[in-house]
Structure formats: C-alpha cells, structure tokens
Structure 1
Amino acid sequence: MSQWITLAGNIIIIIGLVFMTLGVLGIYRFNDYFSRILITSKVDTVGFLTIMVGFIIKHGLDFFSGKIVLIVALYMITNPIATHAITRSAHISGYRIKKER
C-alpha cells in the first residue's frame, strides 16, 4: 500500500512540474507585460500547489505535512499580493501596453 501512495505522490509532483514547464513555454505566446505577469502568477501558484500536495500525499499526514500546509497558506496569501504590487507599480510608473495594428 505504501508503494501506491508513493507512486501517486510522485505522479502528482510530475504533473505539477509538467504544468509549470508548459506554463513557462506558454508565456512567450503573450506580447505584453500585463498578460505575461498574469499567466506567470497563475502557473506559479497552481504548479507550486500541485507539487506541495504531491509531497503531502507522499509523506503522509505528520508534522512535515503540517509545515507544508503552513507554507502553502502563507504562499496563497503572499503570491497574489506580490503580483498585484509588481503590476501596480508598473502601471503607476507609466508602463503601457503597445497597441498592435
């Protein structure tokens, strides 16, 4: 049974890594800064959460998993705030989207 749980955890971690890799490659499809930072924050958040859930499943419910849950909770609070602050500072400083014809 332990081998199946470890395998499931590894598969979820690999899914998170593949999602992050495809997301990084997908960033180049967008032309402007604001679209790129939006997709970067989404890929970063979902990939990180998937990898951390894989670690929790792999190690079981113990003190280590509690620390990971705390890290995930802090990450869920700070990542959107940091992305918003970076985007807002770009907007306030006068960075504008170039209109394509």
Structure 2
Amino acid sequence: MPDKGLIDTLNALWGGALTTLIAALMGRLMYHSGEVKARRRRFFGREILWELPVAVGMAIIGEALSRYLGLESPVSTGLVAALAYLGPRGAEAMIERLLRGRSAG
C-alpha cells in the first residue's frame, strides 16, 4: 500500500473542506509572517484578524477555480494556499498580467 501524503491524510481525517480552509489559513499566515519579518506589522496585531475573512474568501475562490480546471486533491490544495498567499490584490495582478500577455500575442 503506498504511503499517503499530508494532504491525503488531512482529507481522510477531516474532509476536503477543512483541508482547503487549513491551506488558505497557512497561505495567509505565510504572507502575514513575511510582513512581520519586514517590520510592517506586529505578529499579534489587529491585522491578523483581517486575514481570516481573506483566507476564507480565497479558499472559496481557489476551490471553485480548482474544480473549473479539474485539478485533483493535492494540486487543488496547493492552488488554494498559493491564492491565499497572494490575496485578492495579488490574484488580481496575476490575472491582469495573464490577460495582458494573451492580448499582446
């Protein structure tokens, strides 16, 4: 029997929805930690409360995009974490660059 990875184990224990939310929270925590390291935020400041709705929103968007693209579980979870790290502004900038690149070619 092949070894299961972390994402498969989380899916088995808690289900896909909670795994997706954990991935989004980890993505936002990575972004927040970078801001703390750059001394633009305190770790336990008010800003961390604003990260929660962003994480939930990006989890919903990431899960919808994963379904649309037909991605399987580990890749889907990685996409959610990456989108959560980027946040709404980062995702918007990435989409604009992709669309600009397509229209130029």
What is the TM-score when the length of structure 2 is the normalising length?
0.33
Greater gyration radius? 1
